[in-house]
Structures are given as structure tokens and as C-alpha cells.
Amino acid sequence: MPKLSDSMEEATITRWLKEPGEQFARGEPLAEIDTDKATIVYEAEFDGVLGSILVPEGGTARLGEPIATIGAGAAATSAAAAGMAASVPAAPVTGGTRTIDFRTAIREALDEELERDDRVIFFGEDVAIAGGVFAVTPGLYEKYGEERVFDTPISELALAGAAFGSAVSGLRPVIEIMFGDFLTLAMDSLVNQASKYWFLTQEQVPVPIVIRSVVGAGGRFGAIHSQMPASWLLGVPGIKIACPATPADAKGLLKAAIRDDNPVLFFEHKRLYALEGDVDGEVVPLGSAKLVREGGDLTLVTAMKGVHDALAAADELAGDGIDVEVVDLRTLRPLDRATIAASVEKTSRVVVVEEGPVTGGWAGEVLAVVVEDALGSVDDAWRIATADAPIPYSPPLEDAFLPGPERIAGEIRGRLA
């Protein structure tokens, strides 16, 4: 249900003007909707095919609840997700709770923010016509055109610089650095330009950049396409780091990142792309961790793929009578100190699971927070991370290298025995 007036909370479909299976063109009326203010003709924003009607004539739906599905070209998506926003430009429609995969969540967030704000642009290598090498961004180029969604040369220096320059000149660029390992090339502009400008202009000129990047191991990509570059940039004040574990957080955090006025590095773990989950379209604020499992004996603090490993370990440990709490950090900067400390005060034991080299990693930063904010409550604390070594290629080598559920459960069992 699109937002058709500022005060509406729900509305009634008085008449459907298209039938399921019928094609419609951009600007064509789709339905008559009775809001608290008036009866409004709801028009399509792009060409498509009406799928099934979810709210029949006379039916009422709350704001954001899906009212129909549509097919747009070959890729059928929900009407809400495809941004079938109507006459109120400030409010693209976000659906009610639906189950989608992680990559679709990313695309929906981009789509909705591109729709919501003309200043948002999106560019990177192979992202537009090809739709992304991980097939995350198909359809955006077709929908928004080459002025706003475009392919670039394989030039990360230029990409990051273009993001900086356009951000300080009024646009809100989202760029894709195809693999996080390539961030090394983009770092000069991020570190020496983007993260400094807000400060150097005395907080007068914002730098609204989002850098999306595919990170993480487990895909057999070897030493230079599998790294977790979080700690390379965690030491740079002025750059926020988002690291979602679920489709809902991927969508909600990406929307928050695009609306943020300063640079946000947005990590997408390559082994999460196919993960499905419920998404309600809510924006997730940067800097808020989430308690994803309650328990009384020990706190696991982690992020991204680690959240799923931690939950699997917790399930296993429950069979041994060990009651594990799991905190999903969701952003590494700002770090949600309060949620970490509150959990450790409750359980008195904390393990930080980080996919990344143990030395200089963010797990050490989390333990520093525990020491500073909850020292009196701590009976035990340690890190489970990867060795200080490059990531190997061969499946048995890579699997042994990564901190999976077995290692997490095993270490906890051993330590608590």
C-alpha cells in the first residue's frame, strides 16, 4: 500500500483498473484507492504485468503492506519491491513482510533509494548493463538510465575519486568495489579525501558516499579475492562500516547508509547472497547491534557469516546444556557498546568470532569495549578468528582455516568444562 497522504495509516482499494496478467505502461492507472483524505488514482511508475491481486476490491491494507504482485519483464518481483511508487515521490512503496534472498534485498534497497532521491547515483565495474558480477544489480540501469546507473572502467582510483567529488558537489553516490580486496586501490580517496572533508569544511559539506563491496572467504576464491578488509579501514575516523548478516539487515542498513551524510563502507559477504529471510522494508539505523539469540551462560559477539556460524554453534551447545546468547553487531563503526556490555554483564563470558586475521582485528576492539565497560562482570573472554596468514584456496585448507560452528562449539565446550 503506497503512501498517498501524509497522515494515512491504511486505505481501501475501491477498484482495480487492471486484471491479473494484464500489461500496463508507465503512468497508466492501476487502482483507485480511498485514503483518509480522498480517492486517489494510483499510477504505475514503469511498464510491467500485473501478477496476482492480494487485496481485492473493498479490501483494506495498512501502509506498506503488499496489495499485488507484478512481473516486470522477465524478472517478477513484488509490486512493492519494484518500487511501484505512485504520485507521492517521497515515499516509494516498501512491502510488508516477505521472504527474499540477500542479493534481492540489496537490489531492492538500491532501487527504492534511487527512486526516492534523484541525487542518488550508482556506478561501478559491470554493475549496469551486466547487472553485477554477483548478479545483484540487474534492472537498475534499465529503470534509471545511464545518467544515474552506469558502468565504469576497471579503475578503482578513479571510481573512488569520482564518488568523493560527486558527493561533495551535491550527489549521493553508491559505488561498487567488486571485491573488497580491491579496496586497497580505492583507499587513497576514501582515507585522504572522503573521510576528511566533513572535518576540513567545519561540518559544512557532507560526503554522502556508500561503498558496496563483496567480502569474505569460503568461496574458493583464494588469497586475494576472499579477504575481510574491515580492519584496514576501522582505524579511519569518518568512515562507518556496515556488515549485515540477514536480508532484512542488508536492506535496512543499505537504506540507512545511502541516507547517511558521510561515507559508509557496506560489506556484502559472498556466502550470504543466496540466504533467504523475512524482510519488512524497515530502515535499520547504523550503530545498533541486535540480540539474535538469548542465553544466560555465554555471549557470542560476531557479524556477517559469523552470525550464522554462531547460531549453529549455539544450537549444538544447547544439547550440552550450555545456553548461549548471540549478538549480531550489524555495524563495526559505530560500535554498539551498550548492547555488548549489557549482554556480557548478564552472561559473564564473551567470545568474539571474527572472520579475519586475529592480530589487529575488530574482535580485539570488542574485547577492549568489554574491558572498559563491563570488566567487573567478566569471568572469561577470548577471540576466535583466523590465523595471521593468507587465505588458502583448496577446499579442505580453506574450510580448516575459517572459524566454523564446530570450532566455535568445540572451544566453548573445552573452556567451560
Partner 1 sequence: MSQAAELAGARLEDHDLYVGLYRRMVLIRGFEDLVQSLFLKGDVYGTTHLYSGQEAVATGFASVLEERDRACATYRGHGHALALGVDPQKLLDEMLGRATGINGGRAGSMNVNSPADRLIGCFGIVGGSIAAATGVALALRRTGGVAVAYFGDGAVNQGYFFECLNFCQVLKLPVVFVCENNGYGEYTPFEVVTAGPIRARAEAMQAPAETVDGMSVWEVRAAAARAVAHARAGAGPAFVEAITYRFVGHSRSDPGRYRPEGELDRWRRRDPLVVLRGRLESEGVAGGRLDEVERGVAQELEAMRERGLAAPWPEPAPSPEFAP
| Residues that bind partner 1 in the complex, under the rule CB under 8 A | 121, 150, 152-153, 155, 157-171, 173, 185, 188-189, 192-193, 196-205, 237-238, 262, 333-335
Interior/surface letters 247-275, b for 16+ CB within 10 angstroms, e for the rest: bbbbbbbbbbbbbbebbbbbbbbbbbbeb
Which residue is catalytic, options 65, 108, 225, 354? 225
Question: Do the strands 324-328 and 290-293 form a parallel or antiparallel pair, or are they unpaired?
Answer: antiparallel
Which residue is catalytic, options 65, 113, 156, 398? 156
Task: Strand 240-242: give its sheet, edge to edge.
Answer: 149-151, 120-124, 172-179, 210-215, 264-269, 240-242, 331-333
DSSP 240: E
* CB 334, min distance to partner 1, A: 6
Say whether 225 is catalytic: yes
Taking the C-alpha atoms of residue 227 and residue 249, their distance in angstroms, rounded to an integer, is 22
* CB 178, min distance to partner 1, A: 15
Taking the C-alpha atoms of residue 316 and residue 275, their distance in angstroms, rounded to an integer, is 21
Q: Any residues with CB less than 8 A from the CB of 48 and at least 6 apart, and which?
A: 23, 24, 70, 71, 72, 73, 82, 84
Taking the C-alpha atoms of residue 150 and residue 401, their distance in angstroms, rounded to an integer, is 37
Which of 87, 192 has the CB closer to partner 1?
Answer: 192
Which of 140, 279 has the CB closer to partner 1?
Answer: 140
Taking the C-alpha atoms of residue 125 and residue 105, their distance in angstroms, rounded to an integer, is 20
Query: Which residues pair with residue 349 across a beta bridge?
Result: 380
DSSP 340: H
Question: Do the strands 240-242 and 331-333 form a parallel or antiparallel pair, or are they unpaired?
Answer: antiparallel
* CB 23, min distance to partner 1, A: 33
* CB 202, min distance to partner 1, A: 5
* CB 98, min distance to partner 1, A: 34
* CB 355, min distance to partner 1, A: 21
CA 288 centroid distance within chain: 13
Say whether 156 is catalytic: yes
Instruction: Cite the active site residues.
Output: 156, 225
